[in-house]
Structure 1
Amino acid sequence: MIVRTWRGWTRAQDASAYEDYLMRTGFPGYASTPGNRGAYFTRRDDGDRTEFFLISLWESWEAVRAFAGDAPETAVFYPEDDAYLVDRELMVEHYEVFAGPHS
């Protein structure tokens, strides 16, 4: 299994709207991709900004590529992300899972 992580930041006052936007775009995009084994979309307030930390689980590198394309290390963005994000990671992190509850 592969874990994929990404971070982005909004202004605190835009956090709820961005959360709603992610639930209409990103979350269904992750969940509907064959080979996705789950996704956790998290957030935390940090002063005048809110950090969003997305964690997704994938059954294989092929599944990651089905979601992210031929450059899986590049973050996937949606059309209105620019309206909300004040900072973002352009590259994602991947980790190979070697132990867990179902290993």
Structure 2
Amino acid sequence: MVFQIGRRITKADGASLCALLGLLSLLAIYLPRRTPSPSITQVAQEPFEHPLSRKVRQAYPVFSAGESRLTVDSMDQEGQGPWSEWETARPCSRTCGGGVQIQTRTCA
């Protein structure tokens, strides 16, 4: 891909966001690096959330022994019954946008 200086690019011709991010990461590897200041190092150590990420917890019925119980809804409001703590989130289904990460808990 060749980009012209001064040309506004809304979408790289035929390239997806993942391909563009891959290109930028390759450039970051091969471009000369400067020594980071302590404040930049500190920021880099904090967790990073992709700007396209969304967090949603949805309510859905869970059937056990012919009885229906609910998990929590998207506002994290509990249904009926005592709830366990949230389990550790499973790995995301994709590495570059649009993936799903599942986290569960049970009602005793």
Both proteins in one fold, TM over 0.5:
no
Query: Is the helix fraction higher in 1 or 2?
Result: 1
Higher Cα Rg, which structure = 2
Q: Which structure features the higher share of strand residues?
A: 1
TM-score by length of structure 1 reads: 0.27
